Amino acid sequence: MRMMAGVAAGFGLAAIACSEPVIAPIAVAQERFAGVKWTPPTGMKEARYGDSHCPGYCKVYEGEEDSWPRLILHAPIVGSADDAPQRYRDGVAKRTGDTMHLDNSQKAQERGFNITMNAIEQRTKRDDPGDGDFSIISFINKGDVTLPVELRALSKRRLEGRIPQFAALAESVAIDDAAASAAAKAGKDAITSAVNAVEQGYKRGEKAEMYLYVESGVRNEYRVGGLQLIAYRNEDRLLFLPGGVFVEDGNIKDFRNPDIAALVDQEKLGTWRRNGGSYVVTLNGKTSTYSPGRTRGDQKTLVPEGSIEAQKLL
């Protein structure tokens, strides 16, 4: 173990026990759609952000002008095709608290594309039971792999606006079930490895470290009157867990037993290791180096926000 002590930007940094990671940097990265190919829908673009109401990792397409209705590709479900719809609903309930149920007042028309199920479902939101979305979900299956493809709208009437793109997207899906199954297994193994790394790190007496990440400088932006040189400052909380597990979200509440699977789906989980007094972080295939110290211009640094003793995280 290594010890580090110092003072930066007015924050005290106590001596902290750290260890090298016990999982490889690539271990928490997984290709969610390995073995799955499709043609992006015409007249739509991939959304910059995912959807917090997905049961797991998902890829979202939205309109060029009006983002709704949306088309959503969900990560493959491995197992019995008959069980896939219910496992999808259970995943929604577990991850978001929302409830999915069949809307029996109207059935969506099948349009001849390769689907297992195509019916309208209504979502009851946990935080606003009176306001629910509507979806048509196609569960496309090959072997032991099922891919949910969803058309989601804010009302049942608005579903009709993008049914042609939805049908075309579903028809374009091709699944290599062997590759998809292998990727899903590798993903589960990686999550298990990360969970064990954190658990064993705490048992060794290691501590979690949280930092305020500060990036500042100047950049050109268009404002009233034209192009102007504007100062900027971005801040984020970065969490370094025992066992070399990195979290790009210091707002998680449970440091002892974080929801590793959810963090992987949100692309916020990576690995870290020491390089002298700096941190080398690998996140989603990209490696960056952060150093505790003062911010100077565009230099990326970490401002210590505090060291959290392991016993305080129980």
Q: Give me the pLDDT at residue 281, please.
A: 86
CA dihedral 149, 153, 155, 158 (to 10 degrees): -100
Spelled out in words, what is the top-level CATH class assigned to the domain 36-175? alpha beta
Q: Give me the pLDDT at residue 108, please.
A: 40
Does pLDDT of 292 surpass 60?
Answer: yes
CA atoms within 13 A on the CB side of 178: 0
Does pLDDT of 296 surpass 60?
Answer: no
> Do 211 and 305 form a contact (C-beta atoms < 8 A)?
yes
34-43, 88-97, 120-129, 219-228 — most confident range: 34-43
Residue intervals in the chain for CATH 3.40.1000: 36-175
Q: What are phi and psi of 293, to 5 degrees?
A: 160, -175
The DSSP bridge pattern shows strands 70-74 and 58-63 to be: antiparallel
Selection from 297, 295, 292 nearest residue 307 by Cα: 292
pLDDT in tens, 143-178: 888 888 988 887 777 777 788 888 889 889 998 888
Higher pLDDT, 272 or 277: 272
The DSSP bridge pattern shows strands 70-74 and 174-175 to be: unpaired
Q: Give me the pLDDT at residue 78, please.
A: 84
Q: Give me the pLDDT at residue 16, please.
A: 35
Q: Give me the pLDDT at residue 313, please.
A: 39
Instruction: Enter the pTM of the model.
Output: 0.63
Q: How confident is the model at residue 120 (pLDDT cuts 50, 70, 90)?
A: low
Q: What is the mean pLDDT of residues 94-112?
A: 56
Q: What are phi and psi of 155, to 5 degrees?
A: -150, 160
Q: Which residues contact 68 (CB under 8 A, 6 or more apart)?
A: 62, 152, 153, 154, 158
With pLDDT > 70 as the criterion, what percentage of the chain qualifies?
A: 70
Provide the CA 202 distance to its chain's centre, in angstroms: 25
Does pLDDT of 193 surpass 70?
Answer: yes
Q: How confident is the model at residue 38 (pLDDT cuts 50, 70, 90)?
A: very high
The DSSP bridge pattern shows strands 174-175 and 145-153 to be: unpaired
Q: Give me the pLDDT at residue 126, please.
A: 53
Q: Give me the pLDDT at residue 141, please.
A: 85
Does pLDDT of 27 surpass 70?
Answer: no
Selection from 307, 308, 304 nearest residue 7 by Cα: 304
With pLDDT > 90 as the criterion, what percentage of the chain qualifies?
A: 2
Q: How confident is the model at residue 39 (pLDDT cuts 50, 70, 90)?
A: very high
